[in-house]
Amino acid sequence: MTQDALMRLIPALKTRTWAWWPAINDALPGGRGRRSLWSALIALVMAVLVTLVWLAGRYEASQLQTELERDTTSAVSDLRTQLSRHVQALQGLQSSNPSEAFWLLEAQSLLRENRDMLRIEWRDPALNLNRSTDSSLRSPVFERAPRAETLSETQQACAQAKRSSGPSYSRSFFLPQSDGLGMEVMDMCLPNTQGGVLVGFTVVTYGLQELITARLGVVYGRRNEISFTEPDGTRLAISGRQSRGLRVFTAQQLLDLPGNTLVLRLDGRRGEPDLFPNVLTALVTAMSIALVTVMVLLAKDSRRRLKAENDLAEALAFRKAMEDSLVTGLRARDLEGRITYVNPAFCQMVGLAAEQLSGSIAPMPYWPPEMVDEYKQRHAVRLAGNAPPREGFESVFMRADGTRFEVLIIEAPLISVQGQQTGWMGAVIDISEQRRIEELSRASQERLQATARLATVGEMASLLSHELNQPLAAIASYANGSLNLLKDPAALPQTLDDVHMALRRIAEQAGRAGKVINSVHDFVRRRDQAREAVAPQALLDAIAPLVNLQARKLQVKVHTRIEPKLPPVLCDRTMVEQVLLNLARNGMQAMDQPGSMERVLVLQVRRAASNAEHGWVEFSISDVGVGIADDVARQLFTPFFTTKVEGMGLGLSLCRTVVEQHGGHLSFEPLSPRGTVFRFTLPALLVDKMAA
C-alpha cells in the first residue's frame, strides 16, 4: 500500500472508530460504563506491560542460561582435545625407546609447556619406577606424601589401561603439601608396547586446579566460576570468584574420561535481571518519547524527501537545459549497438528526430550508402571492445537531405552505478566548418609565403642587374675579340685555338647568368611540396647564389661549416630554403652599419641531440652586427612588427611557423662580444628508417 493510500485511510478509520463510541457510551448507564471501559483498558495495558516485562526477563535469563551451557560444552570439548594431545605427545616420547638423558630432557620440556602436568613417570610392567621427573614450575608434588601411599589409584588405572590398550585415568585423590595446604590430583596411565608386547607404562600426574586454571581460566574464567565436582556435588577444584548476593546461573557437563568421570561446573557471575521500580511509568514514558521521536523523524524525513525531490527535479531540468543547449551531439548505445539516447544537437546535426533514431541498429540512417560496409566493420570492432577507449576518430555522416559532412567522434564506455559497462557513450562534433577554415588558412598562408618570396626578390632586383652585368660584359668582350680574330683571313691555327677558348668562356658566362636567373625563378614559382629527405648541403647550395649576390653588395664574407656525415632532414624543401634565406639576409643587413668591424656571416649545420627514435639537425646563422635590443627581442616574432623602414614584419613570424610545422624550434641568443645567432632544428631521417 502506498503512502498516499495510507494517508487517505487514516481519517476514514478515525471517523469509523469514533462513530460507534457514542453508541456504546449511551448503552452504559451514567459514567459507570465509561469508567469500566477505561479500567478494563488500563488493566489490559498493565497486564500486557507486566507480561512483556516478565517475558523479557525470562527471555534474558534463558539466554544467559543457554550461553552458559554452551560455554560449558565448549570447555569440556577443549579439555578433551587437550588431553588427547597430551596422550599423543607421551606416545611420541616413548616411540623411539630413548635413553634416560633424552627421556628426562623431553619430559622436562613437556612439563614446562603444560602447567597442568605435575609429574611424569616411566614404570615397568610390574609398575616399578624406572624414571621420573617433576615440574620445575613448582615444588615436587609428592614431597610430603610418599608416592607409595597413593600408588593404589595408579595401579587400578594402569590395569584398566592394560585391558583397553589405551590411556586410563585414576580417580582423583587429595595430596597434602608442605605449605599446609593440599590439592586434588589424578593420574593418567598410558601403556607402552613394542611389537605387541607390553614394555611399561607412562604415568602422568595432573593437578585438577592447574588443569582448569591453565586450560579454561583464560577463556571462560573471566565471566564464570569454573570447578570440578564429584557426582554428589563435592567440589574438587575451583577457579575464579563469584559475586555475592546474586542469583547464579549454573551449568554442569560430564567430563567422561577412560576410568574416571568428572563433573565440570560453570557458575555465571551475572545475576538474574531485576524488575526495576516504576516500570510502567518508565515504559509509558519511553514509548511516548519513542512515539514523539518517530513523528519528528518522520517529519524531518518528509522534509528531506521533499527537498531531495525538488533538488532532483532541478538537477534534471538543469541537465535537460544543458543537453538542449549543447552544440556537441551526444549518442548513447547499448552493448548490442542499439541507439538508446540522442540529444537535440545530434538530431539537428543529422536532420532526424529522436523517435526516428531511438532503437536504431546498424546500418544507421545517417550512414552514407557508399560507406555502409566500412562503417559496419568499424562498428563491430568498437562493440567487440578492441578499439582504444576515449580515442577520437573522424568520419562522414549524411543528413536527411543527403548532404555529407565531416564529424569527429569521441566514444567511451558507458559505466553504470554498479560499475558495470552497459554500453557506449559518444560525443559527435561537426568539423566541416573547421576543415573549411583550415583549408582557407592553408591557402592564405601559401599566398602569404609566395608574397614574401616575391617581396624578397623585389628587394634583390637591383642586385640582379649588378650580378648579371659581369657575365654579360664578359660575353660581349669575348664575342668582340672572336670577331676580330676571325676577320683576319690569314689566321693561324693558334688564332683558332684562341677563338675556341673565347667561345668556351662565353658559354660559361652565359651558364652563370642563367643559373642566377633560374635560382630566382625557382624560388618565386616553387610551391609547397610533400616532405622529402634532403641533404643539409643541398639546402645551403640552393640558396648560395642568392646569398652570395647580396653578400658581394654589402661586402660580407660568408663562411659555411657543415659537420661531416650528417643524416638527411625530412622537410619541405622550398619552405626551409626560404627560412635560411630570410635569416641570412637579416644577418647581413644587421652588419650593414658604417664603421663596423669585419663583416662575417657564418652558416653552420651540425647534429643536435638524438635518441633511438628521433634525430635532429641544427642550423645556425650567426652575424657580428649590433645585436637585438631587449624591447625588440620581446616582440621579435610578432607578425607585422619590424624595425626596417621598408620591411613587412612577416619574415621571422613565417620562419618560426615553418620550423614549428616541422616539429622543430627556432630561437636566438646574443654573441660575445657582439652579434646574434639564430638557431632552428629539423627532424633527421635515421639510418634504420631509411633502410626500412
- What's the pLDDT tens digit per position in 538-547? 889 888 877 8
Same domain, 426 and 467: no
- Dist. CA 138–CA 131, nearest whole Å: 19
Average pLDDT over residues 421-446: 79
Compare 242 and 70 and report the one with higher pLDDT.
Answer: 70
Q: Quick check: is 320 in a domain?
A: no
Same domain, 533 and 517: no
Q: Tens digit of pLDDT for each residue in 74-122?
A: 888 888 888 888 888 888 887 767 788 888 888 888 888 888 888 899 8
Please tell me the predicted confidence (pLDDT) of residue 340: 83
- Dist. CA 594–CA 617, nearest whole Å: 35
Compare 242 and 58 and report the one with higher pLDDT.
Answer: 58
Question: What rounded mean pLDDT belongs to the chain?
Answer: 76
| Residue type for position 536 | P
Average pLDDT over residues 157-163: 89
Domain final position from 509, 527, 545: 527
Same domain, 399 and 518: no
Q: Tens digit of pLDDT for each residue in 364-413?
A: 888 888 887 787 777 777 777 665 555 677 788 888 888 888 888 887 77
Same domain, 381 and 458: no
* CB neighbour list of residue 211: distance below 8 Å, 6 or more residues apart: 79, 116, 228, 237
Q: Quick check: is 278 in a domain?
A: no
Same domain, 124 and 253: yes
Same domain, 593 and 648: yes
What is the per-residue burial (b if ≥16 Cβ within 10 Å, else e) of 99-134? Answer: eeeebbebbeebbeebbbbbbbbbbeeebeeeebbb
Same domain, 349 and 469: no
Contact 217, 209 (CB under 8 A): no
DSSP state at residue 371: G
Q: Quick check: is 305 in a domain?
A: no
The Cβ of residue 684 has, within 10 Å, a number of other Cβ atoms equal to: 23
Q: Quick check: is 52 in a domain?
A: no
Average pLDDT over residues 145-167: 87
User: Which of the residue ranges 10-24, 110-124, 511-525 would you say has the lowest mean pLDDT?
Assistant: 10-24
Domain final position from 268, 294, 317: 268
Same domain, 161 and 113: yes
Tell me the CATH number at 100.
3.30.450.20
Same domain, 417 and 556: no
Tell me the CATH number at 645.
3.30.565.10
Same domain, 464 and 367: no
CA-nearest of 592, 588, 583 to 637 is 583
Domain final position from 400, 430, 460: 430
Q: Quick check: is 441 in a domain?
A: no
Is 607 in a helix, a strand, or coil?
strand
Contact 243, 273 (CB under 8 A): no
Report the number of distinct structural domains present in the chain. 4
Residues in the chain: 692
DSSP state at residue 568: P
* CB neighbour list of residue 654: distance below 8 Å, 6 or more residues apart: 448, 449, 452, 578, 579, 582
User: Which of the residue ranges 238-247, 495-504, 558-567, 634-643 would you say has the lowest mean pLDDT?
Assistant: 238-247
Average pLDDT over residues 55-63: 69
Contact 666, 659 (CB under 8 A): yes
Please tell me the predicted confidence (pLDDT) of residue 78: 87
Q: Tens digit of pLDDT for each residue in 310-326?
A: 888 888 888 878 777 77
Report the first-to-last Cα separation within the chain, whole angstroms.
77
Q: Domain range for residue 455?
A: 447-527
Q: Quick check: is 435 in a domain?
A: no
Please tell me the predicted confidence (pLDDT) of residue 620: 93
Query: Residues of the chain with pLDDT > 70: what percent?
Result: 73
pLDDT > 50? residue 3: no
Assign 505 a pLDDT band (cuts: 50, 70, 90).
confident
pTM over cut 0.85: no
Please tell me the predicted confidence (pLDDT) of residue 517: 67
Compare 643 and 278 and report the one with higher pLDDT.
Answer: 643
Q: Report H helices in 187-278.
A: 208-215, 217-220
* CB neighbour list of residue 238: distance below 8 Å, 6 or more residues apart: 209, 225, 226, 227
Average pLDDT over residues 7-13: 38
Same domain, 236 and 130: yes
Contact 272, 248 (CB under 8 A): no
Same domain, 647 and 500: no
pLDDT > 70? residue 500: yes
C-alpha cell at position 470 = 659581369
Please tell me the predicted confidence (pLDDT) of residue 203: 92
Most confident of 325-329, 575-579, 683-687: 575-579
Instruction: Output helix, strand, coil percentages for the chain, rounded to the nearest 5.
Output: 50, 20, 25
Q: Quick check: is 302 in a domain?
A: no
Q: Quick check: is 275 in a domain?
A: no
